[in-house]
Structure 1
Amino acid sequence: MASVMVGVIGGTGLGEALGALGGGEAVEVETPFGRPSGPITVTEVGGVPVALLSRHGDGHLHSPSRVPYRANIFALKKLGVTHILASGAVGSLREELAPRTLVIPDQIIDKTFRRPGTFYDELAVHVELASPFCTQLRNVLVRGGTGLSTRVHQGGTYVCMEGPQFSTRAESELHRAWGASLIGMTAMPEAKLAREAEICYALVALPTDYDCWRQYPAHLDQAKVIEEILGNVKVATQNALELIRRTIPQVPALAEKGCPCQSALALAIWSDRAKLPEDVKEKLRPLLGKYL
C-alpha cells in the first residue's frame, strides 16, 4: 500500500477545535513561500498519520485575504501529506442547504483577486481544474456522512469571494442567479494550490447562515443574529469534526486505486525543464522533484 498522510485544514470554528482529533507533536515547517499559518500538529487518527493545520492561525489572526495559502500547502506537501480534508464556514445560497448541515461541494467560482494563486511564478505550469475537488475524496466524505446526526449534502458550487466584507444583497442575488450554492472566502487558491502540489483535496463546507439574500425576521436585532450564527458555527463544527474523524480511516484505501490528482503535473509543465535555473529547481523540488 502506498504511503498515505491526511492533512486536515481547519477553518472558522474547526481551526480552534482541531485538538479534539487527537494530541500530537507540533512542528514548524519552513517554506520558500514564508511560514505557514502556524505550527502543524502531526498525530494519528484511526492509525492513519495526520497533519493538523489551523488556516487562520492561533487566535484567528489571518483574514481570508492574508492566509499564507502557498506556505500552508507547501508545508503539508513537505511533510508528506497526500490527501487534504479542509473545512470552512460558508453562507448558504439555497433554502435546502440549512445552517448546521454540511455540504461537500464539487465546483468553485473564483472571485478572488488579491492572493498569489500559483507556486510556479518562474515557469509555465497549467494544471487541469475542471473538477477542482478530488472526486474520490469527496465520495469518501459523502459515505462517511451515512448515519451522521446531521444531513450531508452532496455537490454544489462554492463562490469564493475576496472579502473580508460580506456580500451586498445584489451580489448575493447574483450568485444565486449563477446557480451557486455556497458563498465563502477561503477555498481559493487553496484548492488550486493543492492540485498544483498533486494532493487530493476535498472540502467540508459548514453553512452558518443564509447570506443576505434571505432576510432575518424584523424582530431579531443584530446581536441576536450574531448569537444565532455563532451557535450554528459551534454545532456545525462538531458535525464536521465527526465527519472528518469517520473519513480519515477510509482514506488509505484510495491509495491502492490511484488518482489523477496525484499526477496532475505530468502534462502540465510547459516550460523547457533543461532551461530552469538550478535555484528554481531546488526551491520547487518538493513539488516537481519527480519531473526534474
Structure 2
Amino acid sequence: MVIRADIGVIGGSGLYSLLDNATEVEVTTPYGPPSDVITVGQIGSRSVAFLPRHGRDHRFAPHRIPYRANLWALRSLGVRQVLAPSAVGSLRPELGPGTLVIPDQLVDRTSGRAQTYYDTEGVVHVAFADPYCPTGRAAAVSTARSSGWDLADDGTLVVIEGPRFSTRAESRWFTANGWTIVGMTGFPESILARELALCYTSLSLVTDHDAGVEVGEGVSHEEVLSFFAANVTRMRSLVADVVTALPEERTCLCAHALDGLKLPFDLPE
C-alpha cells in the first residue's frame, strides 16, 4: 500500500500525538535520510505527515538538520502544504512569552547551510520576495485569533546560525533593524519548500525575550525547552485546527513557483 499525505508538519517531539491512526514511513532521498522516520496519520479528513525537525532524540543541532532531505521526503509522500511550528525569541518588549507570531518576512543570518536543490546540474532562480504562503498564513491567523491566542499577525523572523544564542549587541542590532523575532531553523526550510513548489507557513511561539530586550543573564536552553513544553498541548491543538482550515485546492503563488522554469531534474510526484 502506498502511503500518501497532502499536509506536512515539521516540529518538535511534543506534537507526535497530533495524529490519529499513525503509521511510520521510512523515505530515502538523493540528499540522504531525513531527520527521522516520518509518521503519517489523520487529522479529521486530512492526511498529515509529521517529521521531527531535530530527530526524536533531538540529535541534530539547527545547523546540522538535513533540511534538503526533510523537504524532499515530504514532497515524495505527496505533501504540498507545510506547517512549521517552532520556538522563537522576541525582539520586542510588547511581544512576551506565549505570543504567537505568524511572520510574513524573514532575514537570513545563517552561514554554510545548503539552501538550494539547484546547485550542481543547472541554476534555477526562484522568486522569494514573500517567503511564506499567503493562504497558509491567512488560515493560521484566523484560526489563532478565534482560539484566543495573543497574536502578532505579521512580523520579520531573523534566522541565526546557532546553536548559540545571540549576544546582547546582536540582539539590539536585530531590534534596531525593525525585526520581530529570532530563531534558528526557519531557513533554509522556507526556501527549500519554495524550490519544491510547496506552501510553507511558520507558526512561531515566543518562549522568551531575546538577550538585548530583557534585563538579566540572557536566554537559556532550559528556559526555552521548559516554556515550549508547557505550551505544547495548546500548540498541538492550534496545528490541528490550522490543518483542517487549509484549503484542499491550492490557488496561491507557491503552487506556481516553478512555472516557466527549466528544472535540471524531475521532482518527486
TM-score (norm 2): 0.92
Matches within 5 A, 1:25-44: 25-44=23-42
Give the CA deviation at 1:242.
1.5
1:175 aligned partner, one-letter code: F
Q: Distance in 2 between matches of 1:30 and 1:4?
A: 16
Q: Deviations over 1:241-281 (max 9, x none)?
A: 1111111112134x1x5121011011343xxx6xx5xxxx3
- Contact 2:211–2:218 under 8 Å retained in 1: no
SS at match of 2:192: helix
SS at match of 2:137: helix
Say which is worse superposed, 71-80 or 232-241, in terms of deviation. 232-241
Give the CA deviation at 1:160.
0.5
Please say if 1:249 is aligned against 2:238.
no
Q: Distance in 2 between matches of 1:107 and 1:97?
A: 17
Give the CA deviation at 1:135.
0.8
Query: Structure 1's 234 and 143: CA in aligned 2 closer, same or farther, altered over 3 A?
Result: same
Please say if 1:203 is aligned against 2:196.
no
2:253 aligned partner, one-letter code: P
> Which of these residues, 66, 73, 76, is aligned with residue 74 of structure 2?
76
- Contact 2:106–2:156 under 8 Å retained in 1: yes
Q: Distance in 2 between matches of 1:131 and 1:142?
A: 17
Give the CA deviation at 1:231.
3.6
Give the CA deviation at 1:285.
3.4
Query: Structure 1's 136 and 222: CA in aligned 2 closer, same or farther, altered over 3 A?
Result: closer
Aligned equivalent of 2:10: 9
Aligned equivalent of 1:183: 182
Please say if 1:145 is aligned against 2:127.
no
Aligned equivalent of 2:17: 20
Please say if 1:99 is aligned against 2:97.
yes
2:74 aligned partner, one-letter code: L
Q: Distance in 1 between matches of 2:145 and 2:135?
A: 16
Q: Deviations over 1:183-233 (max 9, x none)?
A: 10101000000000000000000111111012345xxx889x766544421
Give the CA deviation at 1:88.
1.1
Q: Which runs of 4+ in 1 moved over 6 A?
A: none
Q: Distance in 2 between matches of 1:226 and 1:51?
A: 28
Please say if 1:136 is aligned against 2:135.
yes
Q: Distance in 2 between matches of 1:142 and 1:230?
A: 24
TM-score (norm 1): 0.85
Say which is worse superposed, 45-54 or 258-267, in terms of deviation. 258-267
Query: Structure 1's 268 and 235: CA in aligned 2 closer, same or farther, altered over 3 A?
Result: farther
> Which of these residues, 229, 234, 256, is aligned with residue 234 of structure 1?
229
Identity of aligned residues (%): 42
Give the CA deviation at 1:4.
7.2
Q: Distance in 2 between matches of 1:175 and 1:16?
A: 29
1:5 aligned partner, one-letter code: D
Give the CA deviation at 1:117.
0.4
Q: Distance in 1 between matches of 2:85 and 2:15?
A: 11
Please say if 1:261 is aligned against 2:244.
no
Give the CA deviation at 1:54.
0.4
Query: Structure 1's 215 and 260: CA in aligned 2 closer, same or farther, altered over 3 A?
Result: closer
- Contact 1:86–1:201 under 8 Å retained in 2: yes
Q: Distance in 2 between matches of 1:90 and 1:135?
A: 21
Q: Distance in 2 between matches of 1:108 and 1:222?
A: 23
- Contact 2:158–2:179 under 8 Å retained in 1: yes
Give the CA deviation at 1:57.
0.3
Please say if 1:88 is aligned against 2:86.
yes
SS at match of 2:187: coil
Which ranges of structure 2 fall in alignment gaps of 5 or more residues?
none
Give the CA deviation at 1:83.
0.2
2:211 aligned partner, one-letter code: C
Q: Distance in 1 between matches of 2:223 and 2:71?
A: 33
Give the CA deviation at 1:87.
1.2
Query: Structure 1's 39 and 169: CA in aligned 2 closer, same or farther, altered over 3 A?
Result: same
Equivalent residues, number: 264
Which ranges of structure 1 fall in alignment gaps of 5 or more residues?
288-292
